[in-house]
Amino acid sequence: MNYSKQREAIVMALHTLYHPTAEEIHAEVAKTLPKVSLGTVYRNLTQLVDRGIVRQLVEGEKGKAHFDGNAYPHAHFVCSACGRIVDVPLAEQAPQGLQGFVVEQTVCTYKGLCPECAGK
């Protein structure tokens, strides 16, 4: 993957924002690169997802795609009321029944109500 200012700014935005949408990333990147297009952001996000550098979370606020720059294996909790997405750490060892298997990717999403929505 070749270096580009746009891609570097997108990766930096992913580390600054918490599970942002492409539109939120675009707004952040446009602060330093005002001429960057939303199409450029989407193209670069697709390439980063394809290479496993970024994770795309299809669930979240109103079904919009959200992106996660945290490459360390972890799960997510998605609030079904407000769409909030929270990182959930995973156990360091493979779950019972997977001993001997080589796990290459973990995709785990918990759904329910966050503390704020559950208290309403």
Domain ranges of the chain: 5-67, 70-118
Q: In the predicted model, is pLDDT for residue 92 greater than 70?
A: no
CATH number of 70-118: 3.30.1490.190
Confidence label for 21 from pLDDT (cuts 50, 70 and 90): very high
pTM over 0.85: no
Mean pLDDT of 59-75: 79
Q: Identify the CA nearest to 74 among candidates 61, 60, 57, 59.
A: 57
Q: Locate 22 and state its tokens.
A: 């492409």
Residue 106 CA to residue 64 CA, distance in Å, equals 21
Tell me what pLDDT residue 2 has: 81
CA 120 to chain centre: 27
- Tell me if 21 sits within 8 A of 28, measured CB to CB: no
Q: Locate 42 and state its tokens.
A: 């989407």
SS3 content of the chain, % helix, strand, coil (to 5): 35, 20, 50
Cα angle 116, 117, 118 (rounded to 5 degrees) comes to 95
CATH number of 5-67: 1.10.10.10
CA 107 to chain centre: 12
